Amino acid sequence: MSTALQVFVDGESCSESWTQDRGLQFGDGLFETMQVRGGNVRFESLHRARLTLGCSRLAITADHAGIWKQVAEQARVQGQALFKLQLTRGGATARGYAPTGSERTRVILSVFPPPSRAEIPAEIHVVPLDNVLGENPQLAGLKHCNRLEQVLARASLQGKEAFEGMMSSSSGRLISGTMSNVFLELDGGLVTPEVDRCGIAGVLRAVVLREARVAGIAVQVADISWSALDRCTSMALSNARIGLLPVNRVAGRPLAINAQLRALSARIETLEQ
């Protein structure tokens, strides 16, 4: 075992274990951003399923029952909130990238104010971004903590007067927004991009697909070319904070509000699970 002999943080000697957390060192962890409403985590089972899948893919062991018990208790205490639940592989037990298997998973639950309608502009503008998403099927879909691509993409949105920016895969497909999944009306049908090579399999995206099935609305999951941004007639964004949000303009071009997406949005707003 070769851990650090000594650590200095901003020039001061520091013996705290967080400095060697693999989450901090390598982004070696996962997170869930969840809306808490009426003392419950909305779509809890879907968040739990994605976190469990992520832990399995990254070989991070966790007491899932205990974690979700704590989350549920805290949701009851808070009532209305936004929760960020982060799991890291924990403190490094050896130097270097390889996990040893003897790390102790760290659970960080952060409580934020509940999402407010006031954070969402009346007109939703979306712009295309040059920032790309690297393709890695092993990591695709997961909400892991390697998020520099999103950080750089959000930074490049600054000054652009847009609510969201669209990102492509390195091979030129339309994938998602910087913090949301995307649904398009294209050639008269509804589609959302595959997220099997890059992108995040959003919980709200799963809810939209589920509720569309329930309502008999066809939504295809497909590879979508970047040029769909020029051709789509409607668009909506989804994430746990904004729900399913219709878009008014893409790259300045006005869009129609698709009646089926609007109906799904209203339906989803009423759902707890």
Binding its own copies (rule: CB under 8 A), the pick from 118, 123, 158, 161 is: 158
Residues in the chain: 273
Binding its own copies (rule: CB under 8 A), the pick from 37, 52, 93, 107 is: 107
- What's the closest the beta carbon of residue 39 comes to its own copies, in angstroms? 16
Instruction: Tell me if 27 contacts its own copies by CB under 8 A.
Output: yes
Rounded to whole angstroms, how far apart are CA atoms 221 and 244? 16
Which residues neighbour 30 within 8 Å (Cβ) at sequence distance 6 or greater?
51, 54, 55, 58, 60, 86, 87, 142, 143, 144, 145
| Site of tokens 């790309």 | 132
Instruction: Tell me if 224 contacts its own copies by CB under 8 A.
Output: no
Question: Considering beta carbons, is residue 64 or 231 the nearer one to its own copies?
Answer: 64
Binding its own copies (rule: CB under 8 A), the pick from 45, 171, 220, 227 is: 171
Instruction: Tell me if 147 contacts its own copies by CB under 8 A.
Output: yes
Instruction: Tell me if 223 contacts its own copies by CB under 8 A.
Output: no
Question: Considering beta carbons, is residue 142 or 212 the nearer one to its own copies?
Answer: 142
Residue 246 structure tokens: 């219709």
Instruction: Tell me if 145 contacts its own copies by CB under 8 A.
Output: yes
Residue 241 structure tokens: 């904070």
Number of residues near its own copies (by CB under 8 A): 75
Instruction: Tell me if 84 contacts its own copies by CB under 8 A.
Output: yes
Instruction: Tell me if 102 contacts its own copies by CB under 8 A.
Output: no
Per-residue HEC secondary structure of 139-179 comes to CCECCECCCHHHHHHHHHHCCCCCCEEEEEECCCEEEEECC
CB 181 within 8 A of CB 165: no
Site residues for its own copies, window 114-143 (CB under 8 A)?
Answer: 131-139
- For the CA atoms of 88, 202, 147, 137, the dihedral, rounded to the nearest 10 degrees, stands at 90
Residue 247 structure tokens: 């878009």
CA distances from 22 to 87, 161, 268 (A): 10, 36, 36
Instruction: Tell me if 212 contacts its own copies by CB under 8 A.
Output: no
Binding its own copies (rule: CB under 8 A), the pick from 51, 157, 232, 236 is: 157
Instruction: Tell me if 170 contacts its own copies by CB under 8 A.
Output: yes
Of 42-50, 153-161, 212-220, 224-232: span binding its own copies (CB under 8 A): 153-161
- What's the closest the beta carbon of residue 71 comes to its own copies, in angstroms? 10
- What's the closest the beta carbon of residue 80 comes to its own copies, in angstroms? 12
What is the Cβ-side half-sphere exposure of residue 205, based on CA atoms within 13 angstroms?
23
Question: Considering beta carbons, is residue 113 or 189 the nearer one to its own copies?
Answer: 113
Rounded to whole angstroms, how far apart are CA atoms 232 and 264? 18
Instruction: Tell me if 97 contacts its own copies by CB under 8 A.
Output: yes
Most distant CA pair in the chain: distance in Å?
A: 63
Instruction: Tell me if 64 contacts its own copies by CB under 8 A.
Output: no
Question: Considering beta carbons, is residue 191 or 203 the nearer one to its own copies?
Answer: 203
